[in-house]
Structure 1
């Protein structure tokens, strides 16, 4: 399965937030999306998640053009996003958070009439999914407010990955985490990709991007200015692309130093 954007542009009044962006992610691949503040990363993420529509251009899933008019439509096409706010309910437990908006009702009258939840089925599903992704949570019954920042991020990613069939969009998943928590989240991202889901990873943490990504796209001033093999990069070189100190000739894939 794949997801691709072709010639995507987005304007806000007279401002071009994105200009003719071409970008793709394949099943089982982690693709980094990096750039300075104002480069257009968040705008592109919102378009891919259905929260924002492009001014022009196309989104293509497995060779078929699709239109994400809302986040719900994007999710129907197998695309889910985890934003920095995580969208978790701190006063509720892990199971309840996992099924927010997707609660399972009991069969029979108790479910159809009284709308009672099938907690055993929900709990079993959560335990199974967390085990599949080898997550490190103390219990599925603990309230989210009692989890660490890394554990909350782990829950948000695991939840989205469990309902996601094609692509998972991650916005700064390792920001504001300690070193050990960052490592746990990065390991989870790798396991999500190994399960066959494509991952788009937005981050300002270059070491994290290089640790998990297969390819990296660099956005600058609303344009993709480089597509790079993460295995051939170090942090200093990647920063050079972001700042414009290194320029990629995308027609020939030759690199030249910007002498300005």
Structure 2
């Protein structure tokens, strides 16, 4: 997969958050979007993922406009939600109705050090973040979009994320962050 941005800009009201962003990101690369607070990192990530429309410019995936391209992707961030009324097992069973898993639910839970039969609503914020990361790493996704992926993770959780990231093969991965440890894992950088 190749995602290309041509002259991308976004404004809210009359204020431009960013303008004239041009880039090309390919499968097999781990790209970071960096910049000061308020520079539009999360916004650009959402535009690239197809969740927001740019105010100017066009995003292409494999040569087709992103709104016309259908691909398997996942978007996670501190503000994305999981179904708290489910146990982890119920949530992952539900999720696999939409995406093909790459291993068993038990293997996913063991890898993340999470209990299968506990209600997600009773999880800590770090455990909920691990649950979101399971949907990124353990299901078939052509592209993985992560906004501050290690927020709320302890040292063990951060190392788990880092180890999983090293195993990424030909998937496209974009991380929006200012965390220097997260950025170190990236081979390419797009700075706003």
State TM-score, norm by structure 2.
0.82
Gaps of 5+ in 2: none
Runs of 4 or more above 6 Å deviation:
none
What is the match of residue 81 of structure 1? 75
**Residues 92 and 144 of structure 1 are in contact (CA less than 8 Å); yes or no, is this contact kept in structure 2?**
yes
What is the match of residue 95 of structure 1? 89
Q: 2:145 aligns with which of 169, 174, 186?
A: 169
**Residues 126 and 140 of structure 1 are in contact (CA less than 8 Å); yes or no, is this contact kept in structure 2?**
no
Q: 2:120 aligns with which of 128, 141, 144?
A: 144
- Cα RMSD between the aligned structures? 3.0
**CA distance in 1 between partners of 2:15 and 2:140 (Å):** 33
State TM-score, norm by structure 1.
0.63
How big is each residue's C-alpha offset from its partner over 1:102-155, in whole Å with a ceiling of 9 and x where there is no partner? 648xxxxxxxxxxxxxxxxx9x95852674898223443332245454443222
**Residues 31 and 217 of structure 1 are in contact (CA less than 8 Å); yes or no, is this contact kept in structure 2?**
yes
How big is each residue's C-alpha offset from its partner over 1:31-61, in whole Å with a ceiling of 9 and x where there is no partner? 1111111111121112123221112211121
**CA distance in 2 between partners of 1:141 and 1:203 (Å):** 32
Does structure 1 residue 217 correspond to structure 2 residue 190?
yes
Structure of larger gyration radius: 1
What is the match of residue 158 of structure 2? 182
Q: How far has the Cα of 1:185 moved from its partner? A: 1.9
Aligned pairs for 1:201-240 within 5 A: 201-210=175-184, 212-219=185-192
**Residues 9 and 54 of structure 1 are in contact (CA less than 8 Å); yes or no, is this contact kept in structure 2?**
yes
Say if 1:125 and 1:47 are closer, same or farther in 2 by CA, change over 3 A.
closer
Say if 1:43 and 1:91 are closer, same or farther in 2 by CA, change over 3 A.
same
**Residues 29 and 173 of structure 2 are in contact (CA less than 8 Å); yes or no, is this contact kept in structure 1?**
yes
Aligned residues: 192
Say if 1:130 and 1:173 are closer, same or farther in 2 by CA, change over 3 A.
farther
Gaps of 5+ in 1: 105-121, 220-260
More helix by share: 1
**CA distance in 2 between partners of 1:164 and 1:135 (Å):** 17
**Residues 34 and 202 of structure 1 are in contact (CA less than 8 Å); yes or no, is this contact kept in structure 2?**
yes
**CA distance in 1 between partners of 2:108 and 2:6 (Å):** 34
**CA distance in 2 between partners of 1:204 and 1:47 (Å):** 18
